[in-house]
Amino acid sequence: MKLQRKNRLRASALGALVVSGALVLTACGSDDNSKPKDGNTTAAAPKGDPKACEGAKGQLLASGSSAQKNAMDLWVNGYMATCPGVQVNYKSSSSGEGIVAFNQGTVGFAGSDSALKPEEVADSKKICKTGQGINLPMVGGPIAIGFNVSGVDKLTLDAPTLAKIFNDKIKKWDDAAIAKLNPGVKLPSTAIQAFHRSEDSGTTQNLGKYLSKTAEKDWTYEPEKKWPAPGGQAASGSAGVAAQVKQVDGAIGYFELSYATAQSIKTVDIATGAAAPVQATPENASKAIAAAKIVDPAGKDLALKLDYTTKAEGAYPLVLVTYEIVCDKGNKAETLPSVKSFLNYTASDAGQKLLSEKGYAPIPAEINAKVREVITSLS
């Protein structure tokens, strides 16, 4: 009996060590999704669906948006625990790289923070032999504006001021425009170090959409994945921008909220014209995303139109929705069952519930119901 008790204690200790190690790997931003890392964040397969893994097997490759990396880590871990016959490997790179990989036929699906452009849809028809690439909204959340200014714990900015900062027009933290928005805050004369993405990024494009709609005089660039403005410093991926903001005094940058949460980076409250500035939280982002409209409600492509100009109380307007990009028809026969099985999992109640754990916002139920319908119809 003593020997059995000792073995149980040893197994318990080893289990705790494995979970602890998994959490460290996740916090370091590892992109190795070859096996589950954290049993505490594993969600069950959709209840009442005994065929959740039917036909799914082998390796499923995907790549794209780094904004959804932390959500994808949770999903991959949970799904592979439920369907151990599938090895899902999501490469966190950028939306642009993900779309290129998809249109080259090297991945089963891609993640992108912005919907496919017409020319990208046209290119997809070469891979989706009898169909085309479509957008399935799967992840929502705020684009946080992270800052690191010594002595400043709380900061409010509005769209025109943000535009001038990222457009290299405001160069010091004690600039009059910033001081006006932050009465009573002692702002240093530290030089502003603005960081942006070095590669094509849907997060960059969403920031551009927000600024072009809310600060038209100060942000005159077309919203594109490539960073358009002069000045500033570039870093690779959301993780790279967040790392620079974390370590550089005077820094400011943009990335999905989970990167700020994971590294305890302070984030900007945005003055929208509502009664009070709005914090970057999943709940506040959900209020903005809930007002999104499907561009073509009659079709299978579920690209959304977001309202970046909302002044609703508590609605955080600087949001993104990450799409999983798939072929509506003409998917590869060897990967189609795994693609459908995995995406069914991410769109399930269990999969969506995981999102709030990492600072994301679940897709509104009405839209998500359509997402599930389209996944079922993939062929």
Q: Are residues 282 and 184 in the same domain?
A: yes
Dist. CA 199–CA 236, nearest whole Å: 7
Task: Tell which wins on pLDDT, 155 or 358.
Answer: 155
**pLDDT given at position 127:** 96
The pLDDT value given to residue 358: 79
Out of 43-47, 60-64, 108-112, 300-304, least confident range: 43-47
Residue, of 187 and 21, whose pLDDT is higher: 187
What are the tens digits of pLDDT across the range 87-127? 999 999 999 999 999 999 999 999 999 999 999 999 999 99
Residue by residue, DSSP assigns 4-55 as HHHHHHHHHHHHHHHHHHHHHHHHTT----SS---GGGPPPPPTT-TTTTTT
**Are residues 108 and 146 both part of a single domain?**
no
HSE value, Cβ hemisphere, 13 Å, CA-based, for 288: 30
Q: Count of domains in the chain?
A: 2
- Cβ atoms within 10 Å, residue 155: 20
Which of 126-135, 328-337, 354-363 comes out lowest in average pLDDT?
Answer: 354-363
Task: Report if residue 352 sits inside a domain.
Answer: yes
DSSP labels, 243-275: HHHHHSTTEEEEEEHHHHHHHT-EE-EEE-SSS
Instruction: Give the model's pLDDT for residue 49.
Output: 52
Same domain membership, residue 255 and residue 148: yes
Do 170 and 248 belong together in one domain? Answer: yes
Domain check: are 124 and 153 in the same one?
Answer: no
Asked whether residue 5 carries a pLDDT value surpassing 60, the answer given is no
165 pLDDT tier (thresholds 50, 70, 90):
very high
User: Residue 6 pLDDT more than 50?
Assistant: no
Query: Taking 70 as the threshold, does the pLDDT of residue 134 lie above it?
Result: yes
Structural domain range at position 223? 142-289
Handedness of CA 194, 196, 202, 203 (dihedral sign): negative
Is residue 13 a part of any domain in this protein?
no
7 within domain boundaries: no
**Which of 245, 265, 289 is the last residue in one of the domains?**
289
Question: Are residue 90 and residue 184 in the same domain, yes or no?
Answer: no
Do 165 and 129 belong together in one domain? no
Same-domain pairing of 90 and 188: no
Is the domain of 159 the same as that of 274? Answer: yes
Residue 326's beta-bridge partner residues? 134
Tell me: do 107 and 224 sit in the same domain.
no
* Mean pLDDT (whole number) for 21-46: 37
User: What CATH number should be reported for the domain holding residue 63?
Assistant: 3.40.190.10
C-alpha closest to that of 361 among 254, 278, 307, 289: 289
pLDDT at 187 exceeding the cut of 50 = yes
Residue 356: predicted pLDDT: 79
Average pLDDT, the chain: 88
Is residue 78 domain-shared with residue 109, that is, in the same domain? yes
Does 26 or 233 have the greater pLDDT score? 233
pLDDT confidence of residue 40: 39
- Kindly state whether residue 269 falls inside one of the protein's structural domains: yes
**Does 85 share its domain with 158?**
no
Question: What average pLDDT does range 290-311 have in this prediction?
Answer: 94
